[in-house]
Structure 1
Amino acid sequence: MERVTVEDVPSRSYRGLELFMLIPPVLMGIFGLGIVVLGLMSFGSSSAAAGTAGAASTAGTTGAAGGGMTALLGGVAIVWILALLFGLASAVAIPLFLYLDAGKIADQDLDWEPSQGLYAVGGFFLSGLVVWHYLYKRHQYVIDWVDTEAWWYLALMGVGIGILGIVGSGIDPMLMPIGLLGLPLFAVGIYKDATYVRLQSDWRPNPVNHFLAAFFTGIIAILGVFYFGYYAYKRHSHVGLI
């Protein structure tokens, strides 16, 4: 299987597709941040109201429950608005990026010749699914370049925040969204680090596979920790951990 590097196929469209792939974990992180901030604000308001009313026990309990619901609804609203803007932008940008980048790949002497029209149409109707598939195939034939372990430490920070969310949820379920704050660091760090590892060892992880694994397991922090354990074991076997 013949391969080339990103230096052989310079493409801003490829970087644009990567950006759109990485936006969902950022949205989830914003969702978690919105819930945490609104939860703290609601908790403070309910505590003040309880003190003023003089019925601290009953009012505090009711206020905390109401504050938690307000925080959840606020977080959802924030993500819905951002997701709507993201969807509108992706409906135009993703088909265009796929069309342009597929043309650059097709011009190379590779075993893979992606259809520009097919990917553009698929990108319009199926958006993220097509981007995942396209980038997965692209990484098989065009090798990206990452020459630093900084992304690995970013992933470590992300999983650390996820563990903090797990611990916090044992104290108060409203603290569980803290784990989502680490999801962008975790998913993006793993994606870039997988590229670094495949350049430095005989292990050839496809970065898109590991991005998806980190993203979907990281949403439920405890699953993300288990996946991270697997990735850390494989990484340790080939390039070490630190």
Structure 2
Amino acid sequence: MFTAWPNPFAKPTLFTNAVVHTVSGPTHSPGFVLIDGDTIKAVGPVKEKPAAEGTQVVNLKGQHLFPGLIAPTTALGLMEIPAVRATVDTREVGIYTPEVKSWLAVNPDSELIPVARANGITHFAPTPQGGTVTGQSGLMATVGWGYENMTHQSPVALHLFWPSMNINLAADDTKKQAKNRDKRLKEIDDFFEEARAYAKSQSAPGHKGIPAWDAMLPWVRAEKPVIIHANS
């Protein structure tokens, strides 16, 4: 795994004599991987490896080489010790907070990030939690001096935590439970309808921006995906 080297190589590097797991293609044993900076240029069996002139060669001697793993919805970088409130930054005040950008709150000095990197996680998407529409996540690398150079792409998704759909049939207030559930679902519909209405109002004279609604524009226009967390 390339996680052993935190910085891009200064010149093209050829990893050879490895068991190369491509995941989406065949496994090459023995195989090679050619990288230039932070870009993979070629992958294949050793017999097809390019000439090594001007290239740094690393003989992996039969070690296994995997693509880096991505942790797509995680509290990595946002939470250090759950029992210590000062180290937990996963939640924002409010139920609908689409303007929250989780990557800005990541602690680059977290002791958990190098642990994740050592276990093969090269990128992660820290996920804001705590409400219904909790905010945006960005794709970040597990190496870097601060969130600025750790951030690979932002934003990548908006997070919607779906309300529980369960009803306790043994309780005496099943109708009330159903009513509360339907109310929460309607609130989600209303929120997105208001976001669409705000997007249409941008062309109106005297329009004044509102950060929370401005944050919704890429999703109202279907430019970015919404990740829905449903646990029931």
TM-score (norm 1): 0.24
Which one has more relative contact order, counting CA pairs under 8 Å at least 6 apart?
Answer: 1
Structure having the higher strand fraction is: 2
User: Rg: which structure is higher?
Assistant: 2
TM-score (norm 2): 0.25
